[in-house]
Every structure is written in structure tokens, then in C-alpha cells.
Amino acid sequence: MKLEKSKLIGDKTVQISGSKSISNRLLILESLFKNIKIGNLSNSQDTQLLKKALEQNTDIVDIHHAGTAMRFLTSYYSIMEGETTILTGSKRMKERPIKNLVTALQNLGVEIEYLENEGFPPLKITGRKITQAKVDVPANISSQFITSLLLIAGKLENGLEINLVGEVTSRSYIEMTLDILTKFGIKNSFTGNTIKVESFINNHSSIINYEVESDWSSASYFYSIAALGRETIHLKSFYKESTQGDSAIAKIYEEFFGIKTIFTENEHKITLQANSNFQFPEKIVLDMNNCPDIAQTLCVTASALKIPFEISGLGTLRVKETDRLLALYNELKKIGTETEITDLSIKSISFSEPEENISIKTYQDHRMAMSFAPFCLIAALNIEDEDVVEKSYPMFWEDLSTILTKN
């Protein structure tokens, strides 16, 4: 995808699809409890792959690159009594660790085998009736592992108590899951490092209509565009009291880039408005433990504006679609930013002029493509393998073209 050097057209509106995170949680609950009608479902590839997997009746399920589907379905198939399912995916999926989730399910009595490499998909899952009600899980693992267990907890006859051992990572995503359970009448609590979910087997409630809020991580790319283009952008459909961890983007971009978020609640619309008198900070120091998925976006924005940054709390980025910290280290160089990375952080070291012919590798990672796209407001660039955006935001390039014009 060749992006010419562009400028932002002010006062345009973009309708973003439903949150992938919320949609995927709802699809599992819909399949388990049958009393949910979902509106504004995400049109992301991940969500469509999960929906297809839940609708098909086959012994082998291939979820390709969809990491959320792999994690959620591992627990889902574990409670399908008497059924054996082989859950597999792409080459990259077979390199993404899943041992902590599998171990937790095995400790609950589920029979799961690794078919190739220990600790990684593909998995052979034999569904069992789970009666054990307590399990210990490392707290610093992906929140999707914990959510995977929480989504099936209400279907267990004794409920489930999860003890998180250590410091909790991405707490906001866990709280989002619990908020969704609460909306469907599944009682739960999160006190200290202990999560409790009560059994919901014998409860029969009426049909619940759930309109999915749009995706805040998708909105993050437009915050970056607003920060660089300094024009107003309107986005729909977003709520002021959001449970999505990535809604932290609003506060972060107001503090560091002078982008104010104005909510028009009756229209579920937000307006991103640049403060023309804003003084950019001398340095950005931020712990993004609760919202690591928007770290790439922030790093590109800060790099484009040549604002030094030091971002921590990024331990989960090593095991995403790619090693996102290493990918950032490599690709930020092309736009003139030298960085230093650890297993948990990224820090800018120096800034220089971008390369003459910038071509950004995406490493099969949707967020690499979209987080670097706003840099076209600074210089022309090429985004390799642009179709990776289908994983979370299939309409991204089309929506981007409606708010930009050649400079």
C-alpha cells in the first residue's frame, strides 16, 4: 500500500465497527447460554473466524492467525462433554505459547494433548464435565488466558475461583470480561488477586440485546492522525463509560499530544479536537501495562513529532502476532527513530531524518500496518502486506482515504 504524503481533511466522520474484544467474548457466551442477540458485531477477520468455528460441527478447527479464537476456544471445547476437537492454526499460531492456559484446564480435570510441540498449538481437546472449582493461574500472562476461563465459568456446576499468582497484567481486559458477565446476570467478584464466578447453569433469563461499542484500539490510529494533522475528526460509535482498556487512548493523547475527546452521548460520537496552543512535553514516560495494544500507535506518533519516549509494561508484546517490540525497533529506524528495547519496554535514543523510500514491514501484524499509516502526514511511505488489517479492521484503508488528501 503506497501512501502519498498527505494532509488531514478536517471535520470528517468515521464509523468504526464493533469492538473485536467485546464481540469475541459475546460470541462464546452466546454459544454457551443461547440468550444473547448481538448488534454491531465486529467485522474483523478474527471475529468472523471465531463465529464460523462456533457454527461448524467438525472435529478439526483451524483458526488461522486468530489468537483470541485459539485461546477462547481452548476453554470452550474443554467443557463440551464427550467431544474431541483438534484445534489448530497458522504457522505463527503454532509458535504462540498457550501452556499456561492448558495447564490451568488440565488442573481442572480436562484432557488436552499437544500434537506437535509442548506448550504450543495444535491441541487435541477431549471435553469433560468440570466439577473442580478452584485453580491457580500466573497473573502476568495474557489476559485472554484468564478471560478464556472466565467465559466458561458460569457454565460450570460449581462456578470457578481463579487465584492470580503475582502481579496482574492487563487488568482492564479482565474487568471488561467481568462487566459483560454481570450484564448477563452471572455473579462475580474480583478482590485482590482472586476472581470468583458463580454457576449460572440453572438460571434462565430472557433474551438480552447487546449493542457492541466500537473498537477503541481501532480509534487509536485516528488519535495519531489527529495529533499529527491537527484537524478535527469525528468517530462513531463510542461510549463515555467504556469498559475497554484501550479507551485510555483518550486520556493519553490529551495529556501528551493535546487531543481533546468530546463526547456527544446521544449520538454515541466522539470528536477528536486538537488544542492549537498545546505545548508538547519534553519527554513521554508511561507505563502501558493496562493498554499494551496501543503502544505501537503511541511510539509512531511520538517519533513523528520527535518527542523522546520511554514506554514500559509491554511484556505481552513479545508473544503477539509477531514480537512487536523487535518489530518496532526495526521499523522505527526507517522513520528516523533509534530505540532501545528490553523484554518489557521500549525507549527512544535519538531522532534523525526518515529514510528516502520508506517501506514498513508488517510481520503479519495488523497493528504494525495501522500504527505506521499516520506517518504519511509527515512523509510518503509504503506499507507492505497491507491486507493484514483484515484481522481487526478490514475497512481501515477505505476509511483512511476518506479523511486524507494529497499534500
Residue 33 CA neighbour count, 13 Å, CB half: 30
Q: State how far the Cα of 68 lies from the Cα of 24, in Å rounded to an integer.
A: 8
Q: How far is CA 85 from the centre of its chain?
A: 26
For residue 104, which phi and psi values (nearest 5 degrees)? -60, -45
Full DSSP string of 193-243:
TEEEE---TT-----EEEEPPBPHHHHHHHHHHHHHH-S-EEEES--SS--
Task: Residue 231: name the closest of 275, 277, 264, 263 by CA.
Answer: 275
Q: State how far the Cα of 372 lies from the Cα of 298, in Å rounded to an integer.
A: 10
Using alpha carbons only, give the angle 266, 271, 272 rounded to the nearest 5 degrees. Answer: 160
Bond from prior residue into 122 cis (ω within 30 degrees of 0): yes
Query: By CB neighbour count within 10 A (0-12 exposed, 13-18 middle, 19+ buried), where does 2 fall?
Result: exposed
Q: State how far the Cα of 21 lies from the Cα of 42, in Å rounded to an integer.
A: 9
Is the separation of the CB atoms in 348 and 302 below 8 Å?
Answer: yes
Residue 284 CA neighbour count, 13 Å, CB half: 30
Q: At what angle do helices 295-304 and 248-257 cross, to 10 degrees?
A: 20
- Catalytic, 293? Answer yes
Q: Catalytic residue among 46, 215, 293, 399, which?
A: 293
Q: Is 336 helix (H, G, I), strand (E, B) or coil?
A: coil
Start-to-end C-alpha separation, the chain: 17
Q: CA–CA distance from 385 to each of 61, 81, 389 (Å)?
A: 26, 41, 9
Task: Residue 44: name the closest of 398, 402, 388 by CA.
Answer: 388
Q: Annotated active-site positions, please?
A: 293
